[in-house]
Amino acid sequence: MSEKPTVPMTNGFESKTPFLIGVAGGTASGKSTVCQRIMEKLGQQHKEQTERRVVCISQDSFYRTLTTSERLRAERGQFNFDHPDAFDDKKLLAVLKDILDGKKVEVPEYDYITNSISNRSHTIYPADVVLIEGILVFYFKEVRELFHMKLFVDTDSDTRLARRVPRDIMERGRDLEQVLNQYMNFVKPAFEEFCLPTKKFADVIIPRGADNLVAIDLIVHHIWDIMYKKRPAKISNGCNGHIEEEG
């Protein structure tokens, strides 16, 4: 057994060791939205990066650099971005280990239009809770074993496709034909082969994603307990002892 966290899940955690939460699920299941809701409810969304006690990182920042021929295929929607080989899992592992060591790390922004990491990056400062979201965050064993808590966002495939199409057209510079072809050729088969089988590793499955306010509240309260029970002194200048209410 390698890299098992030394940190017990419910008894607080060692000084400077962040509580690492993996958030997996199919494309457009609502992983990013669920993470945003968690951040909002913990009052973290509008804080400066340096002030944040809860931070979120996307696995997409760890897509590997494509070769010239792969880049040309990607431009035609013929590259499989849903296969584990598309990721630089060694880099993801190294960054997560640095985070667990309490180090500050740089995480690049991913650009879905150029299919490459952009020249912008985010500095992730040591935080109490770090969320890592992505389709295959539970696929790589060594990465999976670093998480103290694993969430799987479980949304019906038809809902996911219905959300992915407008998102990719409006936000990721794609056209309808390309989105549908990519979905049929790569996204759907890879989801079934690589992503769905990782659901069994989850500690908590969130049906319906961000619509599931009860599940999100339970998770937020659990995170809140971890932050509050271990570090009450920091609460007054952290989350202000306040979990935001609905509405």
For 129, phi then psi, to 5°, come to -130, 130
Q: Is residue 17 near ligand ADP by the rule CB under 6 A?
A: no
Q: What are 178-182's contacts with CB under 8 Å, separation 24+?
A: 178/77, 179/77, 181/77, 182/77
How far apart are the C-alpha atoms of 186 and 188, rounded to whole Å?
6
191: its two tokens: 């989801």
Looking at residues 52 to 81 of the shown chain, list those that interact with ligand C5P (rule: CB under 6 A).
60, 63, 81
Interface segment toward ligand C5P; rule CB under 6 A; list 10-18, 25-33, 48-56, 237-245: 25-33
Angle between helices 213-230 and 31-41 (to 10 degrees): 50
Looking at residues 182 to 221 of the shown chain, list those that interact with ligand ADP (rule: CB under 6 A).
209-211
Q: Is residue 19 near ligand C5P by the rule CB under 6 A?
A: no
Binds ligand ADP by CB under 6 A, chosen from 30, 77, 126, 238: 30
Q: Is residue 198 near ligand C5P by the rule CB under 6 A?
A: no
Chosen from ligand C5P, ligand ADP, Mg ion, none, partner binding at 30 (C-beta under 5 to 8 Å by type): ligand ADP
Binding mask 12-41 for Mg ion (x = CB under 5 A): --------------------x---------
Pinpoint the alpha helices (H) of the chain. Answer: 31-41, 68-75, 89-100, 141-144, 157-171, 176-182, 188-190, 213-230, 232-235
Among all chains, which residue has been given the structure tokens 């909002």? 40
CA dihedral 35, 215, 9, 203 (to 10 degrees): -90
Interface segment toward ligand ADP; rule CB under 6 A; list 10-18, 21-29, 190-198, 231-239: 21-29
Nearest to 197 by CA among 25, 13, 23: 25
Chosen from ligand C5P, Mg ion, ligand ADP, none, partner binding at 211 (C-beta under 5 to 8 Å by type): ligand ADP
74: its two tokens: 């990607």
How many residues bind ligand ADP, per CB under 6 A?
A: 13
For 43, phi then psi, to 5°, come to 70, 30
What's the one-letter identity of residue 163? R
Q: Is residue 40 near ligand ADP by the rule CB under 6 A?
A: no
Q: Is residue 25 near ligand ADP by the rule CB under 6 A?
A: yes
Residue numbers at the binding site for ligand C5P (CB under 6 A): 27-28, 31-32, 60, 63, 81-82, 112, 115, 135, 187
Residue numbers at the binding site for ligand ADP (CB under 6 A): 25, 27-33, 163, 167, 209-211
